[in-house]
Structure 1
Amino acid sequence: MDSSSIVEKYFPTLTTQQKAQFQDLGTLYAEWNEKINVISRKDIDNIYEKHILHALSIAKFQDLSGKKILDVGTGGGFPGIPLAILFPDAHFTLVDSIGKKIKVVQAISDALGLENVEAYHQRAEKTKGKFDFVVSRAVTRMKSFVNWVNQKIQSDNPNDNCGIIALKGGDLEDEMAEIKRMYQEVAISDYFSEPFYTTKKIVFIPF
């Protein structure tokens, strides 16, 4: 089932507009991927399962309504763009060090009419402002990632549950031991039944 119906299966309360945006998303990525390769050719046929729904697993873990989110190393816009469709009242800043990928992000968010997305061709360290959450998808080892973004998270109120939410895969024990701080690991297969998610995980590092 690689169509937007897989999104509706797990998020049955989408508005008419959100359903239309998710339907358009696959087509937009297919068109842009012909010009600028942001998703591997073999994955574009499975974009809903391997990219869009994968990004939305974060929404099953954490309600982002009204929050400010920084998506670091967003590539073609994951996990930021699917999350921005799902949480129209949250604000998303998507950054990547590769300019042509940000061009795709900008074009797709414009085509979808997403007014809650800003996209910048820059490194995380250069991004201005503070955020409730920093999200990412397997950008680098977590020790380096924490160093890049730990100044970007606003943690004034300990009740706010701010922090890093990362999409990872496989055995993370050694990698997570390097950061020497508390973290939570959640199996995405707890949320989604497709075999693709068997080894996929969400890692949350509270700040």
Structure 2
Amino acid sequence: MQPKDFGADEFRGALNLTPERFERFAIYHGLLVKWQQKINLISSNTLEDVWFRHFYDSAQILQYFPNDARVIADLGSGAGFPGMVLKILNPELNMNLVESDERKCLFLRTVSRETGLHVSIHNERIERVSDSFVPDVVTARALSALHRLIEFSSVWNRKNKKLQLILLKGETADQEVGEARKIFDFKVDSYPSATRSSARVLRVSEVGCA
């Protein structure tokens, strides 16, 4: 299925959403379209494909979460991908959205308020993020090279040896894994993306120094 054929109804059907969760996504979508006129939340050429390119792309990683995952750190959340999408799908998650851009944080707070879902928003650079919480899973989408994401997560990895990074990566995924292995030892599972044939979902665990 091509993005142009994948709208709200297709998204709802693909994920078998309850009416309540679909309504939250509809609110989110409306806010995204409205705020995009003021600030650059997403690439303008994907605005017509939000349900597929952003919502569905983000949603696909939830299936790879450990069953006992509760605390999540979403790095470089931007417009809320994947963190806010995951929170709507599983409201029980303790979701921490890390974003340095104050305007994007204001957008995320608005989405949180309008959907009635509590998330913790950390308006600071990833390198300085508070260690007041320890996540079970770190997520990121189109943010940084794998070795940098592992570095960013190191403070949490020292406290939680079961920490997993579940990442949406593009066509350079294999290359990034190779580069990261020069610095770190880790286990990685690589899965095909549901939205792009050249993209991958990486699940990284058991991180140590090479």
User: TM-score normalised to the size of structure 1?
Assistant: 0.87
Q: CA deviation at 1:206?
A: 0.9
Question: What is the RMSD computed on CA atoms of the aligned residues?
Answer: 1.8
SS in 2 for 1:130: coil
Q: Is the 8 A contact 2:7 2:51 kept in 1?
A: yes
| Alignment pair present for 1:143 and 2:143 | no
- 2:203 aligns with 204
Q: 1:76-127: per-residue Cα shift (whole Å, max 9, x none)?
A: 1110111000011111000112211111111111111112x11121122322
SS in 2 for 1:173: helix
Q: Aligned residues: percent identity? A: 23
- Within-5 A mapping of 1:34-49: 34-49=37-52
Q: Is the 8 A contact 1:64 1:90 kept in 2?
A: no
Counterparts of 1:123 and 1:90, CA distance in 2 = 22
User: Which of 45, 65, 70 is the aligned partner of 1:67?
Assistant: 70
Q: CA deviation at 1:57?
A: 0.7
User: Which of 82, 95, 114 is the aligned partner of 1:92?
Assistant: 95
- Structure 1 unpaired stretches of 5+: 190-195
Code of the aligned partner of 2:200: K
- Structure 2 unpaired stretches of 5+: none
| Alignment pair present for 1:120 and 2:125 | no
- 2:105 aligns with 102
Cα 1:79–1:91 shift into 2, 3 Å: same
Count residues in correspondence. 195
Counterparts of 2:27 and 2:96, CA distance in 1 = 21
User: TM-score normalised to the size of structure 2?
Assistant: 0.86
